[in-house]
Every structure is written in structure tokens, then in C-alpha cells.
Amino acid sequence: MSASGGGDAASPAIRARGVRKVFSAGGREVVALDGIDLDVAPGEFVCLLGPSGCGKSTLLNAIAGFSLPTSGELTALGRPVTGPGPERAMVFQEYALFPWMTVERNVAFGLEIAGAAPARRREVVDALLAKLGLTDFRDRYPKDLSGGMRQRVAIARVLAIDSPMLLMDEPFGALDALTRRSLQDELLRIWAELKKTVVFVTHGIEESIYLADRVVVMTYRPGTVKRIVPVALPRPRDPSSAEFNALKREVTALVMEEQARHQADEAQATAD
């Protein structure tokens, strides 16, 4: 399957060939990913979409280097993935902000590690806090922020290290619908401005069509690429438009096939 999208397919930001991931749980082997072939072009926005258990987070964690593939080839920015690194910055669903650091210190953390000079650090942090509307909250601790604010801090924190790639694991899943929409718009604005490569895991069909250049629909166990749906709609996209809804119907049908398999599997497991 040729999975290359827009951009220079000769040097993809992410390249996966035959990626397979097997977990052994309680003496039983579970194939989480199998035969994943995927190219993500630099600057492309790709959504991984599928029901629970389709391995979309497993694939993201493999790209991030937290949990390496059992077999297959996986390269990021031309280098094989061997572990986590700041060039593949991750935004987690649970925010993962350091609760003992203020907003400002959280955002500055990556720069501190990289050994940036204090003046430079200050400059970058100030700019990012302003960009994400966090300036007034810089001295707050995460516990005093709303979910939307926390996710803004998490985004600012990875933008601070200026990673060419953003890996996002259902980052807006825990937010209410309105906050989610405004963060989606903010993310698109940042993406358009900074030209990052984004891999965004979600189980939101509308979210994936609203955001992505291409939606990678994955199958339920083992996780494989079921179909790659290009979204050619111009941005900003209107979720109430006919074209949007036609795509949504198509993608929903694909995802629901897998959801049905997921449910059949669960019913089976309960029956056992």
C-alpha cells in the first residue's frame, strides 16, 4: 500500500514499514500492531483514528520511542527510533504537567534541559505564554488551572523545545465540547504558523476530519491500517457543510465496522 501523502515523499518525517508490536499479557500474546506501513510527510497533519484497542496509541508510543516495535522498520526524521527524544515531542491525554512547577517553569523545563541561556529561555517562554493566552497564569500551579488551560500549558511546553514533530495522544479527549473546539482551532493556527508535523490520535470522527490532512483509520486487533482517507477540504472547515458530512459518513462507516468487531470481541470475552 502506498501511504505517502502531500509533501516530499522521498524524505518523510515518519516512515513505518511492516511495524509489528506484540504484547505478552498473562502468558497470552496480543498482537497490538501488525504490518503497519505509513509515511507522514514533513509539515503534514495526520490523525490516527479507530476504536479502543486498535493500537493507535501503541503506534504513537512507538513513534515517540516509549515502546519500540517488536519488528519492522520505524524511522523518524530519517533516523531509526530507538528511544524517546525531544525532536518527537509528545502531548499526553492526561496533560502530564509537572504539578510541582508553575506554568512558567513547566514551559521552561525542556529549554533548561537543553541548556538554553536564561535570557533566551525567558524570551521563548514569554512569547509562548502570550501565544497561548497563559501570561496571566504564569505563576500558577497546574492544580489551579482548568483542563483546557492545562492542555494549553502542555502544548506550550512542547512548543518551547521547538520540536519539528508533535505527537498528540487524545489531547482534547477530557475537555468539554466548547473548550475542545477552541483548542482545536488554536492547534490549527499554531500548526499553520509553525509548520510542524503532527500525528494526532483520536477516537473522535469529527475531530479527525476537522483537523487532519489525512485520516488513518485503523482496524481493531490486530491494529493495521484499514484505510487512509485524505481530507481535501479547505481550512477553516465547516463541520455542518455537505462535503464535511459526506466524509464523516464515509469515515464513520469504516470506524463502525471496527467498533462492531471490538464489541463482538468483548461479548466473546464476557461469555468465556
Which residues of this protein are in contact with another protein, per CB under 8 A?
64, 66, 83-86, 88-90, 92, 94, 96-102, 109-110, 113-114, 141-143, 157-158, 161
For another protein, the closer of residues 32 and 64 by Cβ is 64
Distance (Å, whole) CA 206 – CA 201: 13
User: Residue 51 CB, nearest distance to another protein (Å)?
Assistant: 23
User: Residue 29 CB, nearest distance to another protein (Å)?
Assistant: 23
User: Residue 190 CB, nearest distance to another protein (Å)?
Assistant: 18
For another protein, the closer of residues 47 and 108 by Cβ is 108
Angle between helices 147-160 and 103-113 (to 10 degrees): 20
User: Residue 139 CB, nearest distance to another protein (Å)?
Assistant: 11
Q: For residue 101, what is the DSSP state?
A: S
Reduced to 3 states (helix: H, G, I; strand: E, B; else coil), residue 52 is: coil
User: Residue 65 CB, nearest distance to another protein (Å)?
Assistant: 8
For another protein, the closer of residues 66 and 244 by Cβ is 66
Secondary structure element (H or E) that encloses residue 15, with its range: strand 14-25
- Residue ranges in the chain assigned as alpha helix (H): 56-64, 103-113, 118-131, 147-160, 177-194, 205-211, 242-271
For another protein, the closer of residues 23 and 141 by Cβ is 141
| Sign for the pseudo-dihedral over CA of 263, 265, 268, 272 | negative
Which grid coordinates are listed for 267? 461479548
Reduced to 3 states (helix: H, G, I; strand: E, B; else coil), residue 6 is: coil
For another protein, the closer of residues 142 and 222 by Cβ is 142
User: Residue 160 CB, nearest distance to another protein (Å)?
Assistant: 9
| Sign for the pseudo-dihedral over CA of 229, 232, 237, 241 | negative
Cα–Cα separations (whole angstroms), residue 148 to 6, 34, 172, 175, 199:
31, 35, 8, 7, 20
For another protein, the closer of residues 5 and 171 by Cβ is 171
User: Residue 150 CB, nearest distance to another protein (Å)?
Assistant: 12
Residues 6+ apart with CB under 8 A from 232: none
For another protein, the closer of residues 98 and 249 by Cβ is 98
